[in-house]
Structure 1
Amino acid sequence: MNKYNVYIIILIVVFIFSACQFKKEEKKKSNSYETTIQTKSISLKFDSKIDSIISLMTLEEKVAMLHGNSMFTSSGVERLGIPELKMTDGPLGIREELHRDSWAALGSTNDFATFFPAGGGLSATWNSELAEIYGKSIGAEARARNKDILLAPAINIVRTPLCGRTFEYFSEDPFLNKSMAVPYIKGVQSQDVGVCVKHFAVNNQETNRGTVDVLMSERTLREIYLPAFKAAVINANAYTVMGAYNKFRGDYLCENKYLLNTILRDEWDFKGIVISDWAAVHSTVKSLKNGLDIEMGTITDFDNYYLAKPLLDSLAAGKIDKQTIDKKVKRILRVMYNLKSIDSTGRAKGSINTKGHLTNAYKIASESIILLKNSENILPINTSKINSITVIGDNATRKHAAGGFGAGVKTKTEITPLEGLKNSLPKEIEINYAQGYKEIYEDDDKSKTYGRKISNKIDTALIDEAVQAAKKSDITVIFAGSNRSVESEATDRENLNLPFGQDELIKKVTEVNPNTIVVIIAAAPFNLKEVEKSTSALLWSWFNGSEAGNALADVIIGKVNPSGKLPWTIPVNLSDSPAHATNSFPGSETVEYKEGILVGYRWFDTKNIKPLYPFGYGLSYTNFEYSNLKTDKQEYSMDEIIKVEFILKNTGTKDGKEIAQLYVSAPESTVVKATKELKGFKKVFVKKGNAKTVTISIPAKELAYYNENKKQWVVEPGTYIIKLGTSSKNIKSNVTINIK
């Protein structure tokens, strides 16, 4: 072989190697795409084209774009190629199609969707990668149904455990909220669907939600109630924001100049559109001048919306100018061009009700389930040592995709817990079922799906039946908790009690069969004092989507090691919670947030009040050990990143995921602060017997508080203590740093 041929062979080998490496990198990119979506800001490149379109529009056509022309669309201009702006509900999945002029279902056969876990369940995963996958999946389903705007996520703070919308809100903590909201939004908008982040802002109760005036300090507003919205706009570039029902400092939130113009537009430089919550508008001129762009409603006389004929009348009377109208239309068209809804070239096609989306729903559900107690190691069930199992509880067979007030999901797939166990348990194990309890209300209005007064009556016959069944089985699983009628938009709960006599049921069953596992299916805190006493094994699940039953069953039999942690505090008593301890819920005409910045665990930890289960709490089927906590240096400037490092070892017998949490204290602060605040976390998978070095970064700017006098964020120089823990109460170690 001559020298020339050798060179040729070498070149061929190099080429093949390079091609293989390229393919490997491409595959790597493909596999990691769901967690590496780039932020897409609202582009202004279409503005000149938009200006030329607006110049061709009549005044009537412009005004028609500023209000609903059906239950979930606002008008386009057909002659100019502008389609309607199409919206859909989406806290739990894409809503079924409705008639244009009523809330009645259209009865289509092609509008089935995946039922995704509720917001509380997603946040209980503490997994930002899953939040992005969730967003991408639900965004794809919205696109498959030809929608432009998804009316989600709902990221208001859980201020009171009684709030009817706790099930769809993320958490009681602003840092956890924004950590989940940002990737969720990026995921949705990667599918050419805009989110509508709601409900902006300070919308934390359903009682008197349409009239109550919320009052709080500026520091409380900035530190607790706005961070997730700010991150949604600045970090995730949310395309739309929804104005809430209530008032803030005297003005309704769809005409609140301070929040919509001063903060949202001027401070955060928001370029998108503000859409009202349905029937949340109370004026024409004031709403338009103070930041609202589109009015949506619940009545079907669309021409009489505040931003319809009354707006044309206000224009004719000179109460508002045409330039203001043009500004609103430009914002709408800008979003539509960015979403490719006008020029649809290259727009995502979407997909709906797919196996992939069901798989994603399963992943989220399985990581959201929380092990609250396992004192006798009953869990996971050893299926080789039992012959029979009794399943008890209405929630064992109940489906949660629909119900309550507000948006449900029309789905082909919702696996109940009983179905999940039948799918997972060996066929030779006998499964018996007893209902155990049923819904009993004080009224007979069965047509009402929410807000009914729960009766104190107990169906003793159902309890007796359940007790007899439990006596005959090796192990019993009680599926207790709540449902979509008990937890619902438009109404807050009266108390934290488990409904329908469940405490009595659980007590009686555990007395005859100590091998009893209790599973609470609910999405807001409940009083679990008696349950905690009665049972040695307690799991918490959620309104957990299409694959809820399979996920639960896999946790119960040990196929999945539970890794969820609480996104809010479960108190011993309702009166321990800050909004109730300060007697500042629900208010009447006004509600003052007297607890200030001490919301959720901040209150419990600062006031030394012991909760039943603290924020961030959750056990595992394995054990983890923390060691060697350190920072990359001891002193930082205010613009630096604090790198925290520690070793996490799985000392148990099962592979598992742990959520390491970093809290920060400021003992030398000159202002009142919480004892500790969450400033970082990471979910880490560690095989049994192995250890991992974990690094979590905290920007020093995250240590800032809002100085009301200076009207700016301030990082105080001095000593800070970084605390590493498994919950807000269980701190494993700490390290001290200084800020210059």
Structure 2
Amino acid sequence: MRIHYRFTLIVLCALVVISCKEEKTDKVTASNQKEYTPKVFDVSKFESKIDSLISKMTLEEKIGMLHGNSMFATGGVERLGVPELKMADGPLGIREEISRTSWAPAGWNNDFATYYPAAGAVAATWEPELSYVFGNSVGQEARARGKDMLLSPAINIIRTPLGGRTYEYFTEDPFLNKKLSVPFIVGVQDNDVMTCVKHYAVNNQETNRGTVDVLVDERTLREIYLPAYKAAVTEANAYSLMGAYNKFRGDYLCENDLMLNKILRDEWGFQGVVVSDWAAVHTTVKSLVNGLDIEMGTPKPFNEFFLADKLIAAVKAGEISEEEINKHVKRVLGVLFQVKAIDGVDRETGSIATEEHYKESYNIAVESIVLLENDDDVLPLKLEDVKSIAVIGNNATKKNALGGFGAGVKTKREITPLEGLQNRLPDGIKINYAEGYLERYIENNNDQKENISHNGPIGVKELDETKLQEALTAAKDSDLVIILAGSNRDYETEASDRLDLSLPFGQEELIEKVKVVNPNIVVVMIGGAPFDLNKVKEQTSTLVWSWFNGSEGGNALADVLLGNVNPSGKLPWTMPKKLSDSPAHATNSFPGDEIVEYKEGLLVGYRWFDTKNIEPLYPFGYGLSYTNFEISNVKTDKETYTENETIEVTFNVKNAGGIDGKEVAQLYVSKSDSSIERPAQELKGFKKVLVNNGATENVTINLPVKELAYYNVDKKAWVVETGAYKLKIGNSSRNIQSEVLIDIK
């Protein structure tokens, strides 16, 4: 094996020399504006069949279709051939089958599924094609389990780094959000499964999520929090949306006329069904009239739901008409016909937990890993003189497919980081594993993990002396050390937000003490949301960020550490130096009590940091490579444009390093002389491009002028302001390398 690695190094060096002699320039003509064509969604083509079915139903049968009759299904009408609408949780893959009447596992032996990387990892790839792959793959698994609806994707904006579900969401940026959401939705629905896009809308915290009233100005609502939902409806033809727990401007979102009727249906033309989040319904007549179609939830008996016996009584009392009931039943029947659940001919059958799906999970994971620090070029690991490696940390063996409060995946394959290294390291290198720290929590009287107010599980920060000594011994006895720290899905979890950004379980102290006995350390963070890494950054020159990264996550991580794959992940959110730098916390507008006002307005995420000139620890879009890229010579096809045109932006990406790699070129737009408030810059395009060593790629990003529009509250319309705009190309929001001016007439 030593001969093999030395030979590889010699060949690589030779290739570098050859490539430096003749720089080649290729043209990349594709752009991030690739269209993902959804299936046509037009319920009118089923209208006669739907009307016929409704005419034969009793009132009780109709209302049975508007609420859960089990944990994850609505009622059907068997005598008329109308099946239940069967649902599955799916942010990480298809959830194991549970009991019809409780959250207890059903005990099946054939409900194992592929564990996919969390949405944060998908976003870190900055690759819409991989979002389509994820959606298409998990859609196949949903069909293989006989499901009609996937309760995914979750596309809420990341407003606070403390969010318990940050790992489950894509990003803090509305443009990147919609560019990832659309292909995912199309991918799922290509398999005759409807997505249930959630959580609509302004559902950006777990704290008081069931009661808090969110106040946000109209322009911020339209420009930050709604673009991905609008794209889900108007571009991806999403068949279903999920109403959120919280209130918006005084009304719960499952009975909010503005959001469900006026915006969703009247403005955007949504034809599908609105499903409540579980136990998020508060009224009978109001919720139905204001746009809800299906009530799901716990823990009441199903007949006691607001849209069950109470709705039957309301119809009989004349509080709501049967014509109103028919309208909602028609919507449910429409989506059932759309996914071929009724009279389905040639409906997709799907497949589950296949090698192909595991490979797709790997492909996402390996492109999501972010290289944060590599000052001394420790990575990729040089193994010629390495005989032993210490692998330290509970996260080296921690499995995250299941865990936390919320949906997980029952899977037969979850490769941990330790297993990945064992799989990939050459024979003869000894791994000295030590747990290092214990995953412990402050306990209450019932010996359960304690949630205090809005705070999530609180990790005990004191190290266990025995575990520490084992780690120090392993480090002393090894040539280099890999520390696996960060978080897990018990610490980052639905239903609670974190207390602060500090690392749990004494990890900072562990890293510091290990460095004393062996300075050759690589620190790998596993997690879905930002942490305070200031001290960790001081302790090591080599820092990697991975995620809850699916069935093949350990193999993907090992391949990046060993240089089998050049890292290309970029952060989809900003990592602050301190919590008070983040906009929701700087404005003291998180978490609120009965009311939370989004005081930062448009300045969410990097918009705040860039506009206020606050230096983050790591900026939005940041991620290093084992090679070096140079972006230059940005040009546009014209100097002046009108509103209905598309700006063709071209530029060069040069690989000035020694190995092939992928760079994510990011297009930001600013307008310094605007007559309205604007962020310093906004992401309006991106392209991930493979550039061979020594080569230069000519890249094109197509930017429709309409993407420059702002929402004019007075006109209730999107308006493109005329005048000069600066188009800037870089590889993070804080590393702009080339720019050009254009004019809009």
TM (normalized to structure 2)?
0.94
Aligned twin of 1:282: 282
Is 1:42 aligned to residue 41 of structure 2?
yes
Cα separation, 2, equivalents of 1:218 and 1:41: 31
Cα deviations by residue, 1:290-341 (Å, 9 ceiling, x for unpaired): 0000000112510110000000111011111111110101111110101000
Q: Secondary structure of 1:45's match?
A: helix
Equivalent of residue 651 in structure 2, options 646, 655, 663: 646
Is the CA contact (8 Å cut-off) linking 2:666 and 2:731 kept in structure 1?
A: yes
Equivalent of residue 568 in structure 1, options 570, 573, 579: 573
Aligned twin of 1:547: 552
Aligned residues: 706
Q: Secondary structure of 1:383's match?
A: coil
Is 1:670 aligned to residue 693 of structure 2?
no
Cα deviations by residue, 1:338-373 (Å, 9 ceiling, x for unpaired): 100011211001000000000000000000000000
Deviation at 1:679, TM superposition (A): 0.2
Cα separation, 1, equivalents of 2:182 and 2:520: 42
Deviation at 1:689, TM superposition (A): 1.1
Aligned twin of 2:9: none
Deviation at 1:449, TM superposition (A): 9.0
2:418 maps to a residue whose letter is L
Deviation at 1:454, TM superposition (A): 2.3
Deviation at 1:575, TM superposition (A): 0.2
Q: Secondary structure of 2:558's match?
A: helix
Cα separation, 1, equivalents of 2:347 and 2:61: 26
1:588 maps to a residue whose letter is D
Aligned twin of 2:357: 357
**Residues 439 and 446 from structure 1, CA distance in 2 versus in 1: closer, same or farther, beyond 3 angstroms?**
farther
Equivalent of residue 458 in structure 2, options 453, 457, 474: 453
Identity %: 64
Cα separation, 2, equivalents of 1:449 and 1:486: 11
Cα separation, 2, equivalents of 1:455 and 1:558: 35
Cα separation, 1, equivalents of 2:172 and 2:189: 25
Q: Secondary structure of 1:170's match?
A: coil
Is 1:266 aligned to residue 266 of structure 2?
yes
Is the CA contact (8 Å cut-off) linking 1:206 and 1:489 kept in structure 2?
A: yes
Aligned twin of 1:4: none
Q: Secondary structure of 2:168's match?
A: coil
Is 1:229 aligned to residue 234 of structure 2?
no
For 1:409-558, what aligned pairs fall within 5 Å after superposition?
Answer: 409-443=409-443, 445-448=446-449, 451-558=456-563
Cα deviations by residue, 1:485-514 (Å, 9 ceiling, x for unpaired): 110000000000000100001111122222
Is the CA contact (8 Å cut-off) linking 2:274 and 2:292 kept in structure 1?
A: yes
Aligned twin of 2:183: 183
Deviation at 1:146, TM superposition (A): 0.2
Cα separation, 1, equivalents of 2:37 and 2:539: 49
1:674 maps to a residue whose letter is P
Aligned twin of 2:129: 129
Cα deviations by residue, 1:631-681 (Å, 9 ceiling, x for unpaired): 000000011101100011111111111000000001121011000000000
Cα separation, 2, equivalents of 1:716 and 1:732: 26
Is 1:77 aligned to residue 82 of structure 2?
no
Aligned twin of 1:22: none
Query: For structure 1, which segment, 203-212 or 433-442, has the greater mean C-alpha deviation from structure 2 after superposition?
Result: 433-442
Deviation at 1:54, TM superposition (A): 0.7
Aligned twin of 2:699: 694
Aligned twin of 2:736: 731
Q: Which ranges of 4 or more aligned residues in structure 1 deviate by more than 2 Å?
A: 35-38, 444-458
Aligned twin of 1:152: 152
Q: Secondary structure of 1:101's match?
A: coil
Deviation at 1:49, TM superposition (A): 1.3
Deviation at 1:39, TM superposition (A): 1.1
**More contact order relative to length (CA 8 Å, sep ≥ 6):** 2
1:420 maps to a residue whose letter is G
Cα separation, 2, equivalents of 1:452 and 1:237: 38
Gap regions ≥5 residues in structure 2: 1-33
For 1:178-257, what aligned pairs fall within 5 Å after superposition?
Answer: 178-257=178-257
Aligned twin of 1:377: 377
For 1:335-354, what aligned pairs fall within 5 Å after superposition?
Answer: 335-354=335-354
Query: For structure 1, which segment, 648-657 or 581-590, has the greater mean C-alpha deviation from structure 2 after superposition?
Result: 648-657
Cα deviations by residue, 1:12-51 (Å, 9 ceiling, x for unpaired): xxxxxxxxxxxxxxxxxxxxxxx98631131221112111
Cα separation, 1, equivalents of 2:359 and 2:660: 21
Is the CA contact (8 Å cut-off) linking 2:463 and 2:510 kept in structure 1?
A: no
Aligned twin of 1:32: none
Cα deviations by residue, 1:224-263 (Å, 9 ceiling, x for unpaired): 0000000001000000000000000000000000000000
Is the CA contact (8 Å cut-off) linking 1:616 and 1:728 kept in structure 2?
A: yes
Cα separation, 2, equivalents of 1:341 and 1:447: 42
Q: Secondary structure of 2:86's match?
A: strand
2:222 maps to a residue whose letter is R
Cα separation, 2, equivalents of 1:453 and 1:690: 49
Cα separation, 2, equivalents of 1:449 and 1:682: 43
TM (normalized to structure 1)?
0.94
